[in-house]
Amino acid sequence: MKRRAFSIAAGAILAGVLGFAGPAAAEKVKIGISIPAATHGWTGGLNYQTNRTVDAMRKAFPDVEFIVAAASDPNKQVNDVEDLVATHRINALVILPFESEPLTEPVKQVRKQGVFVTVVDRGLSEPGIENLYVGGNNPQYGVVAAEYFKRKFPNGASIVVMRGIPTAIDNIRIEAFQKALAGTKIKVLDMQYANWNPDKGFQVMQDYLQRFSAIDGVWAGDDDAALGALEAIKQAGRQDKIALLGGSGMNRVVKAVMDGGSPIDADIFYPPTIIIPAIGLTVLRSTTQAPVQGRYVLDSPLITKENAGDYYFAASPY
Amino acid sequence: MSDTALVVRERAGLRGALGAAGPLVALLALVLLGAAVNPAFLGPDNISNVLTRSAIVGIIAVGTTFVITAGGLDLSVGSMSALIAGLMILAMNTLLPFLGAGWTTVLLGMGAALLLGLLCGGLNGLLVVKGGVDAFIATLGTMGVFRSVLTWVANGGSISLDFGLRSVARPIYYGGVFGVSFPLLALLAVSVLGEVALRRMRFGRHVAAIGSNREVARYSAVRVDRVRVLTYVIQGVCVALATLIYVPRLGAATPATGLMWELEAIAAVVIGGTALNGGFGRVWGSVVGVLILGLIQNILNLSNLVSPYLNGAFQGAIIIIAVVLQQRRKPR
């Protein structure tokens, strides 16, 4: 932290000196990266992947300067974005919005000032603001979950669902999930928020197990919540009777799917690694003028024993 | 008011017994509500689940009762628990190759956790008492520090206990004797000890006297600084004890571990009849407060009573009602 502050300060002084020395000196390209702080497992992984990518990029592109800011709430993120533009005078912004609505207007202002804008994962509320969008496929996430249960229970079943943290993403996934299940014999008994959190997942699952004597399947929405739910199901001794699905590709869960023998036999790919192409494309655009406008959407396929090897990152903390 | 606190305290035992009905009435009302919405509510499994789950914040709330009774505040307990959980797991994983997956490793990990709780609590106490930093600010600071250190150690992800050790430690949360789970036994033991220390021992009277009026307590030859630091140390040890129960449950610590536990503990303490600005506290009330909070969640999950969007509103309303109930009964 201290070292980074120092290098930023040193960079600023250096830039000042160069500015005086001669206007001919090539200016450093500055890329600001604004992401949510590690409030749950997935964002934890996001912070890890961001720092890892930035470290690699710093070595590969010494002329590019990176400023990373992690915000613990949407309001702080708006401040971060303003600081990146006003004090760091960035040329490009890579942003994973905490929430769509509150960040839309501030990012629009950034774009107006001629900054190249890359939006990651959570889209803004107004189309056409960003130059580049990189994201996972949230409706597909819900659909893949629904397909999983449809395939598992062709003759119908009773399932319970855990929602995430109340956000636009959660709504999109759940809507797509319900739509894909419409008209089938799969009945959703109840939905509760488990905040993509293992402790909450454990608690909600314990109560579901008390409330419903027959549960065939659980969609925990996220692997953190699924791991909590798994302990509750084990405690009740019902692990052979309940199909449990999480989502997002946490390495521990992908490993369990790969090895087999776990009550969790599948996962949905939606990893925090999506920040990597977002940073990469933005750097390439700034250094090589690569025309990379548009949308770059990564699939969210089902991870099964057969393909789990492709999605397993042993060193990742998530 | 404060000058007579020491005298009034003597009568508080009797009055407390009479005015105690408040939180118990709220608890009883919730039990009846639960039984009405779902027959499974009174099932032994459900009762055991809720009580065992509540033991974690319950043990923390016992410590919180001491801090608040002495006129202090500790906002760092949730973060402290996350940090202790993470470092305890790391310690056990590190010892594993030398000592094997057995009770020696687990017990050493538990010892490390208790030591860490002692240190973290001591740090809070010294910052507030010796450093003269306002308790709200000092513990708001350590709250950020503890959680960030864990996030840093965990690289933003989770720290998982080795699977071999997990099966060794698992009975700490899931096991029990005569159908009473170990976490519940621990909660009972800690709350009885806490109740005796706060209500029947000189130390407890000093805690209340300090919370009532620090200057008067000082003139009455109470070793104010030492007692105040000790309340934070007790809080730290309680957090460590709660973490010992928490870790075997899921076998992992994440940056989201213990999120909001400080507010749950403070809410429980106030629901239980302890004065938020100090001077009077009762440990058993705090435990009832924790049970009330646990039951609210449980009832919401067991029923379609309210939309999940409104869970927080329901919880907030019950907390306010519980506090209003106990204030009516308490002559002030």
Assigned token pair, A264: 């969790």
Amino acid at site A192: Q
Residue in A with minimal Cα distance to B258:
A199
Angle subtended by helix axes B224-250 and B103-129, to nearest 10: 140
CB environment B237-276: b (16+ within 10 A), e (fewer): bbbbbbbbbbbbbbbbbbbbbbbebbebbbbbbbbbbbbe
Give the 3-state secondary structure of residue B200.
coil
Residue in A with minimal Cα distance to B246:
A199
How many CB pairs (< 8 A) connect A and B?
98
Please give the Cα distance from A228 to A303 (Å, whole number).
20
Phi, psi of B111, rounded to the nearest 5 degrees? -60, -45
Assigned token pair, B128: 């507030």
User: Is the CB of residue B53 less than 8 Å from the CB of residue A231?
Assistant: no
8 Å CB contact of A41 and B254? yes
Q: Which of B38, B250, B302, B310 to mutate to test the interface with A (most CBs of A within 10 A)?
A: B250
Domains of chain A: residue spans and CATH = 2-136+272-299 (3.40.50.2300), 138-268 (3.40.50.2300)
Q: ipTM beyond 0.90?
A: no
What does the pLDDT look like over A173-197, one tens digit per residue? 999 999 999 999 999 999 999 989 9
8 Å CB contact of A199 and B250? yes
Q: Which of A50, A210, A213, A230 to mutate to test the interface with B (most CBs of B within 10 A)?
A: A210
CATH of B2-328, one of 2.60.40, 3.40.1000, 3.40.720, 1.10.3470: 1.10.3470
* A122 and chain B in contact, CB less than 8 A: no
User: What is the predicted pLDDT for the residue at A14?
Assistant: 44
pTM: 0.81
**Positions in chain B whose pLDDT score sits under 70:** 1-20, 326-332
What does the pLDDT look like over A205-243, one tens digit per residue? 999 999 999 999 999 999 999 999 999 999 999 989 999
pLDDT in tens, chain A (318 residues): 444 444 444 444 444 444 444 333 457 899 999 999 877 778 888 888 899 899 999 999 999 999 999 988 888 999 999 999 888 899 999 999 888 888 888 999 999 999 999 999 888 888 889 999 998 888 999 999 999 999 999 999 999 999 998 877 888 999 999 999 999 999 999 999 998 999 999 999 999 999 999 999 999 999 999 999 999 999 999 989 999 999 988 888 999 999 988 889 999 988 788 899 999 999 999 888 788 888 888 888 899 999 998 888 877 777
User: Is the CB of residue B108 less than 8 Å from the CB of residue B95?
Assistant: yes
Q: Which of B47, B158, B246 to mutate to test the interface with A (most CBs of A within 10 A)?
A: B158
Q: DSSP assignment, residue B167?
A: H
- The shortest CB-CB distance from A203 to any of B53, B160, B255 is to B53
B-chain CB neighbours of A195 within 8 Å are 256
Give domain limits for chain B: 2-328
B156 CA: distance to closest CA in chain A (Å): 4
Which of B319, B329, B324 has its CA nearest to residue B30? B319
B-chain CB neighbours of A235 within 8 Å are 174
Please give the Cα distance from B150 to B81 (Å, whole number).
10
* A39 and chain B in contact, CB less than 8 A: yes
- The shortest CB-CB distance from B255 to any of A38, A199, A203 is to A38
User: What is the predicted pLDDT for the residue at A73?
Assistant: 84
Assigned token pair, B62: 């016992």
User: Is the CB of residue A96 less than 8 Å from the CB of residue A272?
Assistant: no
A45 CA: distance to closest CA in chain B (Å): 6
Q: Tell me whether strands A243-245 and B176-177 are parallel, antiparallel or unpaired.
A: unpaired
B298 CA: distance to closest CA in chain A (Å): 6
Amino acid at site B297: Q
Amino acid at site A92: A
Q: What is the DSSP annotation of B16-58? A: HHHHTHHHHHHHHHHHHHHHHH-GGGGSHHHHHHHHHHHHHHH
Query: How many other β-carbons are positioned within 10 Å of the β-carbon of residue B30?
Result: 21
8 Å CB contact of B304 and A190? yes
* A163 and chain B in contact, CB less than 8 A: yes
B261 CA: distance to closest CA in chain A (Å): 12
Sign of CA dihedral A183, A186, A187, A189: negative
Bridge partners, residue A190, by sequence:
A160
Tokens 């109560």 sit on residue: A207
What is the total residue count of chain B?
A: 332
- The shortest CB-CB distance from A48 to any of B157, B249, B309 is to B157
* B305 and chain A in contact, CB less than 8 A: no
A-chain CB neighbours of B250 within 8 Å are 198-199, 202, 227-228, 231
Give 3-state DSSP helix, strand, coil % of chain A, rounded to 5: 50, 20, 35
CA dihedral (A273, A275, A277, A281) in degrees, to 10, reads -170
Phi, psi of A33, rounded to the nearest 5 degrees? -125, 120
* B297 and chain A in contact, CB less than 8 A: yes
Assigned token pair, A182: 């419409």
A-chain CB neighbours of B311 within 8 Å are 193
CA B126 to chain centroid, in Å, comes to 21
A155 CA: distance to closest CA in chain B (Å): 26
- Helix H or strand E encompassing B159: strand B159-160
8 Å CB contact of B255 and A252? no
8 Å CB contact of B297 and A203? yes
Cα-only R_g, chain B: 20
Please give the Cα distance from B1 to A212 (Å, whole number).
53
User: Is the CB of residue A144 less than 8 Å from the CB of residue A301?
Assistant: yes
Q: DSSP assignment, residue B93?
A: H
User: Could you tell me where the beta strands, DSSP code E, fall in chain B?
Assistant: 159-160, 176-177, 180-181, 252-253
CB environment A193-202: b (16+ within 10 A), e (fewer): bbbbbbbbbb
